[in-house]
């Protein structure tokens, strides 16, 4: 056994955390790692999602409803036409963007966003469209969260393609709809899995269960704003807790991840949430943070620029800010290291390029940045 897991367990024990519970982050300080940061573009307005195009350009969503192309030299395009209308309030707006696995031949992109409904309601939706130089076209909404609800918060939402071509979508509990998270007739607080055209995979866990939405993959999630596929094909998510209780999970088919019945956090008022930290039939997180890191954006590293980090998980932090590295050994967190904390910036999304460099976007209403992180 390496020293890292032993040290982590000792740190956990020193905090008074029960070792039978999920491992708790030791909250390490940010370090000056082997990283150099280049600012590619600045002046972005609440950027949220980032996708790297094969030709070296980058797609960036801005929460207010703009989709832009950033050239290799950092020039930011005018907003592309054809983007769907969004409910740009609170945490809502234009959210994630990802490329079709066959983008080289179909030129399709996928967008998640808070779609406005009637009477001020909204819900997470996913659309696909064909990317052009100045606009997207052939827009088709392929999935909608059910039901749309009032309130401007907790939409999720990340989009991750599985190796079989199906699509994972993370959703939030909409902040005011906690009871619906455990209700399988809704897609509030779920991870859903659909085919690339919006149809339902026949092997989803609730396809043949009466009263359950057939697109549900897993449930009991609060607000997953980070998701990534590991090289072994498993999905990993990082979700916001309340006051404490941010969670690392790898959602498996049909399983219940507990929110709001079990959690390691408390309400913002300090009031206890749910029944405690564990309950039969509900999954424990792989790892949790208290204090929180406010996670958004994640990627497993693969590349030649930082070979020592191959297969490790990198998560964006918005509070206290920075880039969090998790070393995973046998499905568990062996160590946690934090970088870029000295920049005091909210990292909203994390991608790894074909060049092995990290590409990050920072969350700011008027001065968001697109950063390239290379070896020092």
- Catalytic positions are 154
Neighbours of 291 (CB within 10 A): 13
Summarize the chain as % helix, strand, coil (round to 5). Answer: 10, 40, 50
- Can you say how many angstroms the Cα of residue 164 is from the centroid of all Cα atoms in its chain? 20
- Distance between CA 112 and CA 16 in Å, rounded? 40
User: How distant, in Å, are the alpha carbons of 158, 181, 311, 326, 327 from that of 301?
Assistant: 18, 31, 5, 10, 11
Beta bridge mates, 58: 52, 70
Cβ atoms of 95 and 49 within 8 Å: the answer is: yes
Phi, psi of 140 (to 5 degrees): -140, 120
Pairing verdict, β 159-161 and 167-170: antiparallel
Contact yes or no for 124/172 (Cβ under 8 A) = yes
Q: How many residues does the chain have?
A: 376
**145, 188 in Cβ contact below 8 A?**
yes
Question: Measured in whole angstroms, how far is the alpha carbon of residue 376 from the centre of its chain?
Answer: 27
Q: Which H or E element spans position 8? A: helix 3-15
Of the candidates 13, 15, 34, 4, which has an alpha carbon nearest to the alpha carbon of residue 336?
4
Give helix then strand counts, H and E, for the chain: 3, 24
Ramachandran class of 207: left when φ > 0, alpha when ψ lies in -120 to 50, beta otherwise: alpha
């Amino acid at each position: 056994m390496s020293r890292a897991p032993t040290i982590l367990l000792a740190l956990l024990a020193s905090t008074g955390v029960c070792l039978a519970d999920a491992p708790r982050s030791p909250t390490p300080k940010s370090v000056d790692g082997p990283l150099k940061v280049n600012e590619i573009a600045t002046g972005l307005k609440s950027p949220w999602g980032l996708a790297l195009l094969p030709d070296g350009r980058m797609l960036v969503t801005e929460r207010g409803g703009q989709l832009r192309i950033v050239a290799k030299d950092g020039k930011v395009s005018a907003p592309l036409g054809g983007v769907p209308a969004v409910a740009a309030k609170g945490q809502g707006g234009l959210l994630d963007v990802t490329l079709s696995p066959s983008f080289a031949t179909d030129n399709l992109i996928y967008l998640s966003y808070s779609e406005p409904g009637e009477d001020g309601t909204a819900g997470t939706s996913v659309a696909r469209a064909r990317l052009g130089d100045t606009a997207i076209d052939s827009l088709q909404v392929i999935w909608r969260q059910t039901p749309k609800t009032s309130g401007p918060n907790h939409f999720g939402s990340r989009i991750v393609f599985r190796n079989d071509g199906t699509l994972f979508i993370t959703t939030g509990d909409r902040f005011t709809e906690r009871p619906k998270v455990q209700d399988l007739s809704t897609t509030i607080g779920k991870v859903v899995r659909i085919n690339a055209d919006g149809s339902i995979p026949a092997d989803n866990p609730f396809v043949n269960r009466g009263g359950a939405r057939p697109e549900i993959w897993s449930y009991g999630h609060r607000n997953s704003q980070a998701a990534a596929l590991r090289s072994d094909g498993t999905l990993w998510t990082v979700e916001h807790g309340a006051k404490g209780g941010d969670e690392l999970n790898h959602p498996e088919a049909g399983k219940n991840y507990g929110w709001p019945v079990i959690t390691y956090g408390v309400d913002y008022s300090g009031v206890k949430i749910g029944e405690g930290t564990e309950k039969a039939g509900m999954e424990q997180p792989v790892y949790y943070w208290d204090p929180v890191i406010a996670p958004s954006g994640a990627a497993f590293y693969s590349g030649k620029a930082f070979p020592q980090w191959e297969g490790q998980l990198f998560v964006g932090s918005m509070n206290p800010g920075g880039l969090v590295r998790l070393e995973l050994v046998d499905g568990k967190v062996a160590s946690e290291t934090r970088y870029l904390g000295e920049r005091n910036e909210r990292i909203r999304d994390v991608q790894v390029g074909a060049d092995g460099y990290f590409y990050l976007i920072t969350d700011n209403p008027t001065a968001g940045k697109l950063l390239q992180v290379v070896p020092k």
